[in-house]
Amino acid sequence: MGERTEAGVVIVGTGFSGLGMAIELLKKGRRDFVILEKATEVGGTWRDNTYPGCACDVQSHMYSYSFEQNPDWTRTFSPQPEIWDYLRGIAKKYDLYSYIRFGQEMTGARWDAGEHRWHVATRGGDEFVGRYLVNGVGALHLPQIPDLPGMANFRGESFHSAEWNHDFDLRGKRVAVVGTGASAIQFIPQIAPQVAELTVFQRTPPWVLPKPDHSVPDWARKAFRKVPALQTFYRDALYWSLEARVLGFNGSLTLMKAAQQLAKRHIARSIADPELRRRVTPDYVMGCKRVLMSNDYYPALARDNVDVVTDGVTEVREHSIVDAAGREHEVDAIIFGTGFHVIDAFENLEIVGEGGRNLAKEWAAEGMRTHLGITVAGFPNLFFLLGPNTGLGHNSVVFMVESQAHYIAEAIDLVEGSRAEALATRPEVQDRFNAQMQRKLAKGVWTQGGCKSWYLDAQGVNRTLWPGFTWRYWLATRRVRPADFELIGTAGGK
């Protein structure tokens, strides 16, 4: 028998979401929470992704908590080690380590309607029982590795970018990279000069813009330290400049097509070979897939020892990959830059709500549906951070996390201030929110841009992105509307 731990709030995950939620509860004077973490350290995706060149593609002065601004970022787009250090520093400052249970991977949760409690199961067999369950596991933590024919026969080294094998020396090796997403465009330029040959298997080319990255001068860091208001002003300016980009994403395709010209000039400046230019130029409207930024990706592809293959993989053999044109590429290692399970990230969790309702099964059948990306009808006192339709393509998701943590804390206050046991989202409120989301998304570049992306589920419905200004989301989450919920039970009663 495993151990049983009781708490008021069970938080899952220690990335920006889980830590942000814990701090919000501390600010409210609550200390009756426990945080579950599957690994042995905090940090989420910024702990796990240690591949060469890993960095943020949102400016770090914005990709950080508003209440914990860091004057010491060394670059405008910080590298992974700095972001991980920042998160560990936050956990230490707020004494969050004392609330975290490491090595506890949630495998499922069951709502007990009699107790009005969530029973959370972990892989090690322990149980955590809480009145409220906050799921902050995020979507970028389950590596997606394609099932390539013959992969089991491969005798060389293979790994996903999120599980980088630092013990394997790439120098002088023949390496294949499968995928050209956000991670691949960061690590390809780092490994291209080291390897003997690099074969990049590209299914769909990404739009890549120049990255306005530079080191933060000492004088600026000193100024931010001495006058924090200066950094707040800089952060505000960043916020509004990023926010303006939504006009193209969810309004004018003409604006996005204008931005494409900048990306095409970026290709032309970096690649002389017209055939390679053709291969790396997308045929869909920018923004339909995630827009990437890099100054060294195209020059890396133009190197003599790099080949970009667009024919796809037909078969993997013991020491080679065969493409759809029948060409065989001898390789010593295969690195997958194929992203993560996003839409189906919750399929492996057994979350059972009222009347035995299974969340993964419902979402698989009907699509992921929530109210505000936070609560789910039929699952009382269950909250998501960065849930469906709250991801962003234009601004910092940390802004969304803060809005959601505030909303969840308000929802808990509503339950306890009403002397109730739980709150349950009204189905019609959830339906209204989802209809509104899909109506707005239908006009956006993600739907109209002529591509298939990880933003879309199997039915082609965008269950990932927030389709507008983030300040509108901030407004929508400032106050919990009691009318959106049914309050269940009374305190002390069953």
What does the pLDDT read at residue 285? 85
The domain limits of the chain are 4-142+342-488, 151-206+245-336
Tokens of 383: 């909250």
In this structure, the strands spanning 292-293 and 208-209 are parallel
Query: By the 8 A CB rule, do 455 and 465 touch?
Result: yes
Residue for token pair 């949102």:
58
Residue range 151-206+245-336 in CATH 3.40.50.150: no
Helical spans, DSSP H, in 271-358: 274-280, 297-301
What does the pLDDT read at residue 443? 75
The β-bridge partners of 208 are 292
The pTM assigned to this predicted structure is 0.95
Of 206, 204, 202, 453, the residue nearest 343 (C-alpha): 453
Tokens of 118: 């969530």
Rg of the Cα atoms in the chain:
23
CB atoms within 10 A of CB 221: 17
Mean pLDDT split into 10-residue runs, the chain, 494 residues: 93 97 97 97 95 96 97 97 98 98 96 96 96 87 86 96 96 97 96 98 94 96 97 96 79 74 94 97 86 96 97 95 96 93 67 95 90 97 94 91 98 96 97 93 73 72 87 97 93 44
Q: What phi, psi does 8 have (nearest 5°)? A: -75, -45
The helix/strand/coil state of 15 is coil
The helix/strand/coil state of 130 is strand
Would you say the CATH fold of 151-206+245-336 matches that of 4-142+342-488? yes
What does the pLDDT read at residue 89? 98
User: Apex CA 359: angle with CA 358 and CA 362, to 5°?
Assistant: 85
What does the pLDDT read at residue 251? 58
Specify the DSSP element, H or E, that contains 109.
strand 106-112
Distance in angstroms (rounded) separating the CA atoms of residues 442 and 126: 44
DSSP assignment string, 406-437: HHHHHHHHHHHHTT-SEEEE-HHHHHHHHHHH
Kindly report the CATH class assigned to 4-142+342-488: alpha beta
Of 175, 179, 207, the residue nearest 192 (C-alpha): 175
Polymer length in residues for the chain: 494
What does the pLDDT read at residue 469? 92
Distance in angstroms (rounded) separating the CA atoms of residues 206 and 297: 11
Query: By the 8 A CB rule, do 45 and 15 touch?
Result: yes
Distances (CA, A) of 228 to 21, 105, 357: 24, 38, 49
Question: Using CA of residue 185, residue 186, residue 187, residue 190, what is the dihedral sign?
Answer: positive
Tokens of 310: 């667009």
Distance in angstroms (rounded) separating the CA atoms of residues 213 and 218: 16
Residue for token pair 């057994």:
350
Instruction: Annotate 438-485 with three-state secondary structure.
Output: HHHHCCCHHHHCCCCCCCECCCCCECCECCCCHHHHHHHCCCCCHHHE
